[in-house]
Structures are given as structure tokens and as C-alpha cells.
């Protein structure tokens, strides 16, 4: 009976813990598996790595486990994962976190020798509870760089330009490692296929009278010219039709008939008046 009660209490506690971080559970599509859990006897201590913007690391384990920007980070199987917890709830991160290129690849050897590029490194071990309470304030104040140069004695931080050059060099070296998986990008920034690019339409060919086809030259697209108003051509005035006048037509007909009839010739020396006088004489 006692064992059953303990088992019930353990089950309830496990479910309550699960409900605390349900929102951070990753949603996988089957291609990525979460990394295995890390078992700690107690919450791990961290140290801050010099020449970084507040990058913390757990130094006494074989895997790389970082804390930066309020998240725990770890690489696994060529990909990156993050979580709000140091031992569970890992979510796949699509790209390499930017802080990682500030981390010196030889930090473990410098940690063991307590020496950072020829300078004594008196690093400070920071408990997890203190880290969670103060990391944001330390970041805003730039505590580790300004007040103690990350615990490195008589050390001058690298200039910003030198840090940028080292960051770019480490990024190239990191991407050339064979175990690194390149992130898969989404459809953003996809270049259109050539078939999707609309080609300029060919102008219609003009049929000439002799049967030849002349193709109009294609002009390159230029800036839009301002529209010119169309010039209206003067319209031809309509001819006014004169009304029909019957008397004019009759006159024209008479003239045409007279032209067609032959003219009669009269005898010479006689006139109408002379003929009348002769008739009077006979009477």
C-alpha cells in the first residue's frame, strides 16, 4: 500500500513538472530528434568566457553547454538546440547562435591552465541560482568586461575590429567542419524560375502589299513618357446640297433639245415682209 502511494505521488509530481514547460516543448516534423537529457546531481556552476558578450559555459562536462541571453544552448548532431532549462526541454534552433563565433575554440585548455593568452585567469565559478537572478543586470552593466576583464589579470580587451575579424574567421572554420548541418531555409527569398518571368510580347507583323512581312523593331522598355494630347485634325465641312428647282431643269432641257435640232436655212433676198407685199399686189 505504501509503495502504491509513493508511486502515485511520483506520478503526480512528474506530471506537474511536465506542465511547467509544456510551452517550450519542440514540435518536430520527424527529421530532427531532440538531444538526450543531461543528468546532473545538482545545478551546474558556470564561468564567463573572456572576450565575449557575457557568454557563460559549464566547464566540467564533456559536452558544450552554454548560457547566453536567457537561454541554455547546446550543439548536438551537427545542429543547435536551446532551452530555458539546463537538462531538458530542448528545442531545435534553425541557425548557429551568433555568440558562438566569439567563443575561443581553445577555452578548455586555458581553463585547465588558468591562463588566458599569457595572463593569469582567475575565473569565478557562478552558481546557477545566482546566474538566473543577475545575468540580465550584468549584461546591461557590462560587468565582466568593465570591472574585472573576465577575471584575467592585466588584460586589455581586444579592439572591436579585431574581435570582428576573429568572429568572421571562426565562422568560416565552423562551417567547413564536416559534422555541421547547414540550416534548411524556408521559401523566403526564392528566386523565380525563368519560366515564371514574363517575357516581352512580340509586336504583330505588318503585311506589305508585295506579300513581304516586316517585323517591327522592338524597343527596350524605358521610363514612361508623359502622355501627349492628341492633335485633332480639322474636319472637312459637309457639302450643302442645293434644293431642286424645276424651272432650271426645264430650261436646261430646252437648251439641250435646241442643240439637237438642225437649223432651217431661209432663201436669200426674200423676207417675210417682202412676201406680204407681193400678195397685196396680186389682190
pLDDT tens profile 202-233: 554 545 545 555 455 555 555 555 555 555 55
| 206-207/66-68 β-pairing | unpaired
| 119-120/115-116 β-pairing | antiparallel
Q: Evaluate if residue 239 carries a pLDDT over 70.
A: no
Residue 135 has a pLDDT of: 96
| Mean pLDDT across 111-140 | 96
Which of 83, 90, 78 lies closest to 68 in space, CA to CA?
A: 83
Q: Evaluate if residue 12 carries a pLDDT over 50.
A: no
Burial 172-189 (b: 16+ CB within 10 A, else e): eeeeeeeeeeeeeeeeee
Rounded CA-CA distance 80/34 in Å is 10
Residue 253 has a pLDDT of: 75
Residue 145 has a pLDDT of: 87
- String of DSSP letters for 171-239: HHHHHT-TTPPPPPP-STTPPPPGGGSPPPPPPPPEEPTTS-EEPPPPPPP-PPPPPPPPPPPPPPPPP
Residue 104 has a pLDDT of: 94
Q: Evaluate if residue 113 carries a pLDDT over 90.
A: yes
Least confident of 37-41, 176-180, 238-242: 238-242
The pLDDT > 70 percentage for the chain reads 54
Q: How confident is the model at residue 281 (pLDDT cuts 50, 70, 90)?
A: very low
Residue 22 has a pLDDT of: 32
| Mean pLDDT across 243-272 | 60
Give the H/E segment covering residue 92: strand 91-93
Q: Evaluate if residue 18 carries a pLDDT over 60.
A: no
28: which residues sit within 8 A by CB, 6+ positions away? 34, 92
Q: Evaluate if residue 30 carries a pLDDT over 60.
A: no
| Mean pLDDT across 132-138 | 96
Q: How many CB atoms lie within 10 A of CB 114?
A: 13
Amino acid at each position: 500500500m505504501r509503495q502504491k502511494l509513493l508511486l502515485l505521488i511520483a506520478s503526480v509530481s512528474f506530471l506537474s513538472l511536465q506542465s511547467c514547460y509544456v510551452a517550450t516543448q519542440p514540435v518536430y516534423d520527424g527529421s530532427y530528434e531532440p538531444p538526450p537529457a543531461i543528468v546532473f546531481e545538482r545545478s551546474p556552476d558556470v564561468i564567463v568566457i573572456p572576450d565575449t558578450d557575457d557568454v557563460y559555459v559549464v566547464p566540467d562536462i564533456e559536452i558544450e553547454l552554454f548560457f547566453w541571453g536567457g537561454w541554455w544552448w547546446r550543439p548536438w548532431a551537427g545542429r543547435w538546440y536551446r532551452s530555458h532549462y539546463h537538462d531538458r526541454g530542448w528545442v531545435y534552433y534553425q541557425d548557429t547562435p551568433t555568440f558562438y563565433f566569439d567563443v575561443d575554440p581553445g577555452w578548455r585548455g586555458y581553463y585547465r591552465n588558468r591562463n588566458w593568452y599569457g595572463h593569469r585567469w582567475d575565473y569565478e565559478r557562478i552558481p546557477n541560482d545566482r546566474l538566473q537572478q543577475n545575468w540580465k543586470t550584468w549584461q546591461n552593466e557590462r560587468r565582466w568586461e568593465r570591472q574585472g576583464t573576465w577575471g584575467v589579470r592585466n588584460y586589455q580587451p581586444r579592439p572591436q575590429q579585431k574581435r570582428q575579424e576573429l568572429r568572421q574567421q571562426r565562422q568560416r572554420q565552423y562551417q567547413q567542419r564536416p559534422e555541421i548541418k547547414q540550416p534548411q531555409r524556408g521559401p523566403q527569398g526564392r528566386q523565380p524560375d525563368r519560366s515564371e518571368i514574363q517575357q516581352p510580347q512580340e509586336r504583330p507583323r505588318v503585311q506589305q502589299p508585295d506579300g513581304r512581312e516586316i517585323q517591327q523593331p522592338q524597343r527596350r522598355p524605358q521610363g514612361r513618357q508623359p502622355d501627349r494630347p492628341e492633335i485633332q485634325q480639322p474636319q472637312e465641312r459637309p457639302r450643302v446640297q442645293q434644293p431642286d428647282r424645276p424651272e432650271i431643269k426645264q430650261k436646261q432641257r430646252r437648251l439641250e433639245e435646241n442643240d439637237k435640232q438642225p437649223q432651217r436655212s431661209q432663201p436669200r433676198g426674200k423676207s417675210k415682209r417682202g412676201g406680204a407685199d407681193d400678195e397685196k399686189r396680186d389682190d
